[in-house]
Amino acid sequence: MSKVISATYEGDRLIRLDEVPSDLEPSSCILVLLNPDKELPAAVRTGADALHERLNAFEKQYAMESGDFYERYQRGELGDERDFVVWAGLLQILERMRK
């Protein structure tokens, strides 16, 4: 069951729920969606910056832009080396952060 609960960003990557659901199981997942009308908290910007730094390191190491890499990776041209799996995962995380 999905439920929308408002929350407040407390800083230092902490989010305080305005209401604690009584039926929340210990194994439940909580998805936090940021309000696109407000500025992103510094922790999120810092996280995106760290992702960009890691992506830039992969691009330099493999002499390939991330967009080109991802297209080739999706077509199965590059194999499943650990670096490639991580690189693809970081690109997917960054894309989700932009939504």
* pTM for the whole structure: 0.55
E strand spans, the chain: 7-11, 14-17
CA distance to 53, 69, 83, 85, 87, per residue, from 78 (Å): 22, 8, 11, 10, 12
> What integer pLDDT is reported at residue 93 of this predicted model?
84
pLDDT of residue 66: 95
What was the pLDDT predicted at 79?
A: 87
For the segment 48-81, what is each residue's pLDDT rounded down to a tens digit? 777 888 899 999 999 999 999 999 999 999 988 8
> Which SS3 state, helix, strand or coil, does residue 11 take?
strand
